[in-house]
């Protein structure tokens, strides 16, 4: 295994069909954002925020959340950043968000469902995002969306967050793009309903695979079954790329998997977001492949 290069320009590839392939980074810390910057990632395609809440007994206040997000965003100044709202569920209990026991947490109140059940926690996080992103090309992404109605409700809470900050004279990013993760098969199958409501879509292939193949992603005995290269998962990716009228990316682990990334490009995806350390290898692989199709 080669050591990770210190520096590089691994964010963009020109394909033989004239289109451009963009490599973005998934991050959850300032160190990862720094690696993403040094390796030339086009942007942050997924800033996960769960880490910040999991070890807290009480809800971190707006100042603390703003500060934590600002630190992660700083290295990627000048590049687009997609920050994801808290993706909590009964499988990762949070003291300040009592979801109750659930027999099937993966099918329960998680992601946006949980946020809509606790709108004050959601609004607080949105305010922190808007404040931290005030000098960034910020977008906000919602996890575990099922129906357009949920997105409409979330947009209302986001607008309210903006009004609250405005009334308080607090500097913040506005307007802001609001997008969804496509990780529930229903979203892939019914893109029409989201086209006029979502500003962008990002495929969460980890969960999309779990839900499409009815295969628990946390059960190692099912690892072989839960493969994003399954034709059913790829068909849903192809469908999203084809049916979406807004920008589409993919931010599940499959995007950084050398066996699967080329298949995703073949599905029509042109924006792959992955762990920063995956960038050099995926860049090299997909660049070689695009030059082969030239010959």
Question: Under the rule (CB under 6 A), what is the footprint of ligand PEP?
Answer: 46, 48, 87, 183, 204-207, 251-252
Closest to ligand PEP by CB, 165 vs 233, is 233
Closest to ligand PEP by CB, 165 vs 282, is 282
39 C-beta neighbours (distance < 10 Å), count: 23
Closest to ligand PEP by CB, 66 vs 210, is 210
Closest to Mg ion by CB, 11 vs 204, is 204
Min dist. Cβ of residue 85 to Mg ion (A): 12
R_g of the chain, CA atoms, integer Å: 19
Closest to ligand PEP by CB, 178 vs 251, is 251
Rounded Cα–Cα distance for residues 248 and 180 (Å): 10
Min dist. Cβ of residue 171 to ligand PEP (A): 30
Question: Between the CA of residue 33 and those of 158, 163, 190, 270, 284, what are the distances in Å?
Answer: 25, 30, 33, 21, 21
Q: Which does 205 bind (CB under 5 to 8 A by kind): Mg ion, ligand PEP, none?
A: ligand PEP
Min dist. Cβ of residue 252 to ligand PEP (A): 3
Q: Which does 287 bind (CB under 5 to 8 A by kind): ligand PEP, Mg ion, none?
A: none
DSSP 41: -
Residue 45 in contact with Mg ion, rule: CB under 5 A: no
From the list 13-21, 124-132, 183-191, 213-221, the region that binds Mg ion by CB under 5 A is: 183-191
Rounded Cα–Cα distance for residues 223 and 64 (Å): 37
Under a CB-based contact definition with an 8 Å cutoff, are residues 189 and 211 in contact? no
DSSP 190: T
Closest to Mg ion by CB, 137 vs 257, is 257
Rounded Cα–Cα distance for residues 250 and 273 (Å): 6
Residue 204 in contact with Mg ion, rule: CB under 5 A: yes
Residue 207 in contact with Mg ion, rule: CB under 5 A: yes
Q: Is the dihedral of CA 62, 63, 64, 65 positive or negative?
A: positive
Min dist. Cβ of residue 228 to ligand PEP (A): 9
Apex 35 CA angle, 89 and 287, nearest 5: 100
236 C-beta neighbours (distance < 10 Å), count: 23
User: Under the rule (CB under 5 A), what is the footprint of Mg ion?
Assistant: 183, 204, 207
């Amino acid at each position: 295994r080669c050591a990770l290069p210190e520096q590089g320009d691994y964010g963009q590839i020109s394909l033989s069909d004239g289109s451009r392939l963009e490599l973005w980074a998934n991050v959850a810390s300032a160190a990862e954002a720094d690696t993403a910057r040094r390796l030339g990632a086009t942007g942050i395609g997924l800033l996960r925020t769960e880490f910040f809440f999991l070890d807290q007994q009480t809800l971190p206040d707006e100042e603390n959340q703003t500060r934590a997000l600002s630190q992660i965003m700083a290295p990627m100044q000048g590049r687009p950043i997609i920050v994801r709202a808290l993706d909590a569920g009964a499988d990762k209990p949070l003291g300040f968000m009592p979801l109750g026991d659930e027999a099937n947490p993966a099918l329960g109140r998680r992601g946006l469902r949980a946020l809509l059940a606790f709108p004050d926690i959601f609004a607080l996080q949105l305010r922190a995002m808007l404040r931290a992103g005030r000098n960034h090309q910020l977008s906000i992404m919602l996890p575990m969306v099922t129906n357009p109605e949920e997105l409409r409700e979330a947009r209302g809470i986001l607008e309210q967050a903006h009004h609250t900050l405005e009334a308080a004279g607090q500097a913040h990013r506005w307007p802001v793009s609001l997008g969804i993760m496509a990780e529930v098969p229903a979203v892939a199958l019914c893109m029409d309903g989201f086209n006029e409501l979502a500003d962008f879509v990002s495929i969460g292939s980890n969960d999309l695979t779990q839900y499409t193949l009815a295969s628990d992603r946390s059960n190692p005995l099912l690892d072989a079954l839960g493969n994003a290269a399954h034709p059913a998962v790829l068909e849903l990716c192809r469908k999203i790329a084809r049916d979406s009228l807004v920008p589409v990316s993919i931010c599940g682990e499959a995007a950084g998997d050398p066996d699967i990334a080329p298949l995703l490009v073949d599905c029509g995806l042109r924006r792959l977001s992955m762990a920063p350390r995956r960038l050099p290898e995926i860049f090299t692989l997909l660049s070689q492949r695009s030059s082969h199709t030239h010959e």
